[in-house]
Chain A
Amino acid sequence: MGEKVNRLRFRKLRQTGAFSLLWFAGAVSVLIMVFVVGYVIFKGFVHLTPDFFTTPPRGGLSGEGGISSTIIATVYLVICTLIVATPLGVGAGVFLIEYADNLKSSMIKKFVALARFGVETLAGVPSIIFGLFGYALFVTAMHFGFSILSAALAGSCLVIPVIIRTTEEALKAVPDSYRYASLAMGASRWETIRKVVLPSAVTGISTGLILSAGRIVSETAIFYVTLGGSYRTPTSIMSSGRTMALHVYYLAMETRAFDKAMATGAVLVVLIIIINLVINVISRRLSAETGS
């Protein structure tokens, strides 16, 4: 009997040991986050002045100046990418949810399977491959050169899967009763989608767009090979440019201006935190709505 009690005690002890290791793993991941984010923000904020946001980089090897032109290039690029990617991504999401499930044609069923395979594959492609593709097709073959246009086209490959997935989720959350009610009133399928389904899914879809904007802001590899890296303020869609993320890279690697790089990095990290918070708030509100 005593031996059995001992054995149980040993088993309990082993569990305690294992559990403390698991707690440790959880704690370490939080500490890593706090350390990386804290370090970048703390070290970067020291060098942040109002001037930093309003003056352009001085260029050359000086590493002097601010980041105003890189902010403009980033905003420009985000807008252009979303203009290309949003219709395609939302359209694909609508097709996969609203049309795909009740199609009788076997050919269209095959198309749907193919489309889903495409989305999954595209989501796994590493960004340097998108860059290489963009360089070969848009920069060289189509003669767009190193430009916002080339970068936006290559960048939309990165975010199309993101938009499709969030659109699908948002559409799935719209109750079928809405669709039935609209169809019963004599509305056609497209009218139902346009006037009933999409308006109730618009918040969910917007999280996908915000998420995509975040991906473009943080991406470097694609734009390193398609955007050209000019520190001047872009004036048109054919201008070369430099996003904030790309600016961090050039500052760190070419001029070793770590202070300025850290300051730009801090701006990026704060942006990403805000984007994460906004998405969390929206999705919490959405799940509260559907729950009630």
Chain B
Amino acid sequence: MTGKQRLESVVKYVLMFSALMSILIVVMIGIFTFREAIPAFREIGIIKLLTGTVWRPGQGQYGILAMIAGSGLVTLGAVVIGVPLALGCAIFLSEIAPPAVKSIVRPSIELLAGIPSVVYGLFGMVVIVPLVRNIDVPGNTGFGLLSASIVLAVMILPTISSVSEYAIRSVPKRFREGSFAMGATKWETMTKVILPGARSGIMSAIILGLGRALGETIAMIMVIGNSVIIPFASTDNPLSIFLSRARTLTGNIAVEINYATGLHESALFATGVILFILIMLMNSSARMLIGRKKWEKK
């Protein structure tokens, strides 16, 4: 083997190693977070961890149900507010916006995706929280699920909108032409032909948005109030649950990890493992949905 050939094969394997680095990092994340979480899984038990309603590390009580409820409700709120808006944007951009308008709307949404989450959090604290505080319900401080949901809705809008737009665009042109030829209006074509055709792509866009929402940390810490309580409705109106303070799973990790020790630290890692698995499952199901295109000829 000449020196040149040897260099060629060395380079090839070095590059292959860097290509495998990503999967290596994923595996290492799995190993290291799980290793730290083992004491919690062993001593607290996964059922007790997931269903325990009290989180008092000082007294050895480690239940993350309150944080699960917090993350779940804030994500639900963000979806209710954000998904209609994001889908509206996606359909608008892919179907009816004139090029000049498109060249304003699309960069705007891209910029929304680039704004740091700490800036969203700050904006939430200074603008959204005081607005929400005006709602006259006992105990309402403005910090809580509603404010967090509004902030989160804006944060997931770019993801859902851009992935859905891509899905709508990839519906073949002939579908549209066929529908027009049958005398359907543009709107009828959209609702009865294009959107059903893009359904799996839009579903995956929403799931990706959910994943982003569950993973968001800093902005949530800043506006959700961070109380470790299961959110409750303070008036007869069940919707007032959204004015309750809460804490997310991610926020719980970030706020406490730097001073936690022993079982407490391990319980936070266990929370991370649960979150990691949940989001990985969501992302891979979203990927499977994107990959599936039922109109493709076999």
| Chain A residues at the B interface, C-beta cutoff of 8 Å | 11-12, 14-15, 18-19, 21-26, 28-30, 32-34, 36-37, 39-40, 43, 87-89, 91-92, 94-96, 99-100, 108, 111-112, 114-115, 117-122, 124-133, 135-137, 141, 157, 160-161, 164, 188-190, 214, 217-221, 224-225, 245-246, 248-249, 252-253, 258, 261-262, 265, 268-269, 272-273, 275-276, 280
B280 is an interface residue with CB less than 8 A from chain A: yes
A interface majority secondary structure: helix
Q: Say whether A272 contacts B114, CB under 8 Å.
A: yes
Among B12, B110, B115, B269, contact of A132 (Cβ-Cβ < 8 Å): B269
Among B157, B221, B254, B258, contact of A29 (Cβ-Cβ < 8 Å): B157
Q: Which of B46-54, B72-80, B180-188 contacts A (4 or more CB under 8 A)?
A: B180-188
B172 is an interface residue with CB less than 8 A from chain A: no
A85 to B1, CA, bound (A): 32
Q: Say whether A26 contacts B121, CB under 8 Å.
A: no
Q: Say whether A26 contacts B119, CB under 8 Å.
A: no
Q: Say whether A29 contacts B24, CB under 8 Å.
A: no
Q: Say whether B91 contacts A22, CB under 8 Å.
A: yes
Among A21, A253, A268, contact of B88 (Cβ-Cβ < 8 Å): A21
Q: Sort A-B residue pairs by CB-CB distance and give the 4 closest, nearest first.
A: A126-B215, A25-B88, A118-B23, A91-B18
B276 is an interface residue with CB less than 8 A from chain A: yes
B100 is an interface residue with CB less than 8 A from chain A: no
Residues of A within 8 A of B117 (CB): 218, 220-221
Q: Say whether A128 contacts B250, CB under 8 Å.
A: yes
Q: Say whether B258 contacts A225, CB under 8 Å.
A: yes
Q: Say whether A218 contacts B85, CB under 8 Å.
A: no
A32 to B287, CA, bound (A): 29
Q: Say whether A252 contacts B122, CB under 8 Å.
A: yes
Residues of A within 8 A of B104 (CB): 30
Q: Say whether A272 contacts B115, CB under 8 Å.
A: yes
Q: Say whether B88 contacts A22, CB under 8 Å.
A: yes
B241 is an interface residue with CB less than 8 A from chain A: no
Given the interface pairs A218-B116, A245-B116, the reply to whether A133 lies near B108 with Cβ below 8 Å is: no
Residue in A closest to B154 when the chains form the complex, CB atoms: A32
B123-158 at interface with A (beta carbon < 8 Å): 123, 125-127, 154, 157
B233 is an interface residue with CB less than 8 A from chain A: no
Given the interface pairs A23-B92, A253-B222, A276-B107, the reply to whether A95 lies near B16 with Cβ below 8 Å is: yes
Residues of B within 8 A of A118 (CB): 20-26
Q: Say whether B272 contacts A26, CB under 8 Å.
A: no
| Chain B residues at the A interface, C-beta cutoff of 8 Å | 4, 7-8, 11-12, 14-26, 28-29, 32-33, 35-36, 84-85, 87-89, 91-93, 95-97, 101, 104-105, 107-112, 114-123, 125-127, 154, 157, 161, 185-188, 191, 208, 211-212, 214-218, 221-222, 250, 253-254, 257-258, 268-269, 272, 275-276, 279-280, 283-284, 287
State how many angstroms separate the Cβ of A103 from the closest Cβ of chain B: 9
Q: Say whether B23 contacts A19, CB under 8 Å.
A: no
Residue in A closest to B119 when the chains form the complex, CB atoms: A265
Residues of A within 8 A of B26 (CB): 118, 121-122, 125
Given the interface pairs A40-B122, A111-B19, A161-B22, the reply to whether A126 lies near B33 with Cβ below 8 Å is: no
Residues of B within 8 A of A14 (CB): 187
Among A11, A28, A100, A188, contact of B8 (Cβ-Cβ < 8 Å): A188
A243 to B54, CA, bound (A): 35
Among A34, A95, A218, A221, contact of B115 (Cβ-Cβ < 8 Å): A218
Q: Say whether A121 contacts B187, CB under 8 Å.
A: no
Residues of B within 8 A of A188 (CB): 4, 8
A-B contact sample (13 more), CB < 8 A, given A24-B88, A125-B279 = A12-B185, A15-B186, A111-B20, A115-B20, A121-B23, A128-B254, A132-B253, A133-B29, A133-B32, A160-B22, A225-B253, A252-B125, A272-B115
Q: Say whether B111 contacts A273, CB under 8 Å.
A: yes
A280 to B110, CA, bound (A): 11
A100 to B111, CA, bound (A): 34
Given the interface pairs A37-B111, A95-B15, A95-B19, the reply to whether A26 lies near B89 with Cβ below 8 Å is: yes
State how many angstroms separate the Cβ of A269 from the closest Cβ of chain B: 6
Residues of A within 8 A of B11 (CB): 190
Q: Say whether A137 contacts B28, CB under 8 Å.
A: yes
Residues of B within 8 A of A280 (CB): 107
Q: Say whether A26 contacts B105, CB under 8 Å.
A: yes
Given the interface pairs A11-B185, A36-B123, A272-B116, the reply to whether A30 lies near B29 with Cβ below 8 Å is: no
Residues of A within 8 A of B19 (CB): 91-92, 95-96, 100, 111-112, 115
Q: Say whether A265 contacts B122, CB under 8 Å.
A: yes
Given the interface pairs A92-B15, A253-B222, the reply to whether A268 lies near B119 with Cβ below 8 Å is: yes
